[in-house]
């Protein structure tokens, strides 16, 4: 029975113009779309692609196994329709050796086939999470013991900052955290150099990452205060005794805020002036209204004005130092950061030596071994492909990546290296479902592509497709989800603006189970206008025609 796809799903399946980014909301059928795209690539009458020419990367082994199973089922259906089609039979036979795996499995296979290029023994072992953690702490203790044995005058300030006199927990966690962040980057040592560079460069505070963050944060708060102040003034009825008083009360603060914002946006170098003006922001006593003349708006306006006072108090803590104080702090911190950087590098070096001695490695090591044999990094951060990378690029007709929102920088670099100059990637994910930032996933990579790729059928390359139809939930669920997420998800919080593009829309109807405990069947009746879900525009016969037995993922 033919499946009816939405226009967006069909575009995701059929698009062949270049690299595609699919933003797939929860329950939008992304796995079904991914499987159908693979099948369509295999059976394309004009340009068929062998299953072995596709690299399909999933997040877990279970997801990879499920992907293989669903592709096998679809091939079996096609073979049943064309029992003499030898090409389809070959594709099903090749499926067992197809490159459908996790990133770790792909890199492991690559290293085992090219171990001599990495310089490790082919029978290397893999460390579990617990074993790797124990080894890291063992090596770090050795490195720190050497630090503690130095003369006191060399380490006094360093230990004063990173220890509390009773234990070195903060120091240990700082070193391990820097190590993990470095290993998630495409070039760990380069990342460390860049991270510590601001301590060794005499930049004015407003040009540093910390300074820019503080200015942006201050601007966000001030803009918010302006909006709240305007709302209070506009909500006070003109005939209210409080209307004129509250407008006059808030006017000086509004003017001061506008002057500060002008400096932040156009003259950030005037840091001290911005700081001084911000600290002077305040509201006096609430306008006095005779008791007998207070109306029903009084308490509401007063409460909202008190909220503005709290925001004004918060602005004083954003720019926490003057330019002179910043320079003084940096001079104090510079030798301390040199020591910390030295400890992290020595820890990384010693840890790698231990792993080589034991011939055991962790998943992040295998990923970097793969990058080592595929690219040569240049001083400016660019890279040059090795002959092996070029060979792999020629072997893969397309690279399909599931759960792309949980990719880190090193993994994204590897995908780019083995692609055809970034022109044959198919990336599926949903940044709203990114939950692995604590494992150093970088949803910013997804968002950067989401913001720059074109959402157009006529786009020649870098195409963005939004799958917003939800086939899993009823309207009550999607409405509640949209309402809550619309209130709490903003660009400033989580890097996602929960607008109409990010919202969920009902894309299917449900039928009751025919028998108790029997799986629910689902209707693939998806319309771009969710209001038509239960309308008479879709006949009962049409509904029956599109009932499918398999659940939509």
pLDDT of residue 495: 64
Q: Which of 553, 550, 552 is nearest to 73 (CA)?
A: 550
| Structure-model confidence comparison of residues 496 and 529, the more confident one | 496
Query: Which residues does residue 510 pair with via DSSP β-bridges, in sequence order?
Result: 522
pLDDT of residue 543: 37
Element at 275 (helix H, strand E): helix 271-279
Q: What is the mean pLDDT of residues 119-144?
A: 94
CA distance 385 to 435: 32
pTM more than 0.85:
no
pLDDT tens-digit readout, 279-336: 999 888 877 766 655 666 778 888 888 899 888 988 988 998 999 999 999 999 999 9
Residue 427 has pLDDT above 70, yes or no: yes
pLDDT of residue 171: 94
Q: What is the mean pLDDT of residues 338-354?
A: 96
pLDDT of residue 153: 81
pLDDT of residue 208: 92
pLDDT tens-digit readout, 142-168: 999 999 998 888 888 998 989 877 788
Residue 202 has pLDDT above 50, yes or no: yes
Residue 534 has pLDDT above 90, yes or no: no
**Alpha-carbon distances of 464 from 12, 65, 448, rounded to whole Å:** 9, 27, 12
Report percent pLDDT > 70 for the chain.
Answer: 87
Q: What are phi and psi of 361, to 5 degrees?
A: -140, 170
Mapped to the 3 state alphabet, what secondary structure does 339-370 carry? Answer: HHHHHHHHHHHHHHHHHHHHCEECHHHHHHHH
**CA gyration radius, the chain:** 30
Q: What is the b/e burial string over 388-418, where b = at least 16 CB atoms within 10 angstroms of the residue's CB?
A: bbeebbeebbbbbbbbbbbbbbbbbbbbbbb
- Give the range with max mean pLDDT: 274-288, 334-348, 452-466: 334-348
* 38 and 400 Cβ atoms separated by less than 8 Å: yes
pLDDT-derived band at 266 (thresholds 50, 70, 90) equals very high
């Amino acid at each position: 029975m033919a499946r009816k796809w939405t226009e967006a799903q069909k575009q995701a399946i059929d698009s062949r113009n270049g690299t595609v980014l699919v933003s797939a909301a929860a329950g939008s059928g992304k796995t079904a779309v991914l499987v159908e795209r693979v099948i369509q690539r295999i059976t394309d009458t004009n340009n068929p692609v062998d299953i072995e020419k596709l690299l399909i990367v999933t997040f877990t082994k279970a997801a990879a196994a499920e992907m293989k199973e669903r592709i096998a089922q679809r091939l079996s259906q096609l073979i049943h329709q064309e029992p003499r089609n030898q090409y389809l039979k070959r594709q099903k036979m090749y499926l067992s050796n197809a490159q459908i795996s996790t990133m770790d499995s792909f890199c492991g296979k690559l290293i085992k086939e090219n171990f001599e290029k990495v310089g490790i023994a082919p029978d290397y072992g893999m460390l579990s999470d617990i074993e790797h953690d124990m080894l890291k702490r063992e090596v770090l203790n050795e490195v720190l013991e050497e630090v503690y044995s130095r003369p006191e005058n060399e380490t006094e300030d360093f230990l004063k900052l990173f220890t509390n006199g009773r234990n070195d927990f903060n120091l240990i966690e700082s070193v391990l955290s820097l190590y993990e962040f470095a290993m998630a980057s495409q070039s760990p040592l380069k990342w460390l150099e860049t991270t510590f560079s601001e301590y060794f460069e005499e930049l004015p505070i407003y040009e540093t990452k910390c300074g820019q963050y503080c200015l942006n944060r201050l601007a966000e708060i001030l803009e918010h205060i302006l909006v709240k102040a305007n709302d209070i003034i506009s909500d006070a009825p003109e005939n209210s005794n409080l209307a004129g008083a509250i407008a006059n009360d808030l006017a000086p603060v509004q003017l001061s805020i506008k002057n500060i914002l002008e400096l932040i946006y156009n003259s950030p170098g005037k840091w001290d002036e911005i700081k001084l003006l911000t600290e002077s922001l305040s509201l006096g006593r609430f306008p006095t209204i005779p008791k007998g003349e207070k109306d029903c708006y009084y308490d509401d306006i007063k409460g909202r004005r008190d909220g503005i006072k709290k925001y004004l108090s918060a602005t004083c803590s954003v720019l926490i130092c003057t330019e002179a104080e910043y320079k003084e702090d940096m001079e104090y911190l510079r030798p301390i950061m040199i020591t910390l950087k030295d400890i992290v590098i020595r820890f990384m070096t010693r840890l790698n030596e231990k792993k080589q001695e034991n011939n055991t490695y962790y998943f992040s090591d295998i990923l970097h071994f793969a990058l080592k044999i595929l690219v040569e990094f240049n001083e400016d951060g660019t890279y040059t492909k090795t002959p092996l990378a070029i060979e792999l690029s020629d072997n893969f007709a397309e690279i399909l990546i599931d759960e792309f929102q949980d990719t880190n920088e090193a993994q994204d670099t590897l995908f780019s290296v083995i692609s055809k100059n970034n022109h044959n990637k198919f990336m599926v994910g949903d940044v709203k479902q990114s939950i692995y930032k604590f494992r150093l996933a970088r949803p910013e990579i997804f968002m950067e592509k989401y913001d720059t790729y074109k959402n157009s059928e006529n786009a020649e390359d870098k195409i963005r497709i939004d799958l917003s139809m939800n086939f899993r939930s009823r309207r009550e669920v999607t409405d509640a989800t949209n309402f809550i997420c619309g209130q709490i998800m903003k660009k400033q919080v989580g890097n996602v603006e929960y607008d109409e593009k990010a919202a969920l829309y009902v894309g299917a109807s449900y039928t009751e189970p025919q028998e108790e405990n029997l799986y629910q069947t689902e209707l693939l009746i998806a319309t771009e206008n969710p209001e038509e879900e239960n309308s008479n525009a879709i006949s009962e016969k049409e509904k029956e025609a599109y009932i499918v037995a398999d659940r939509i993922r």
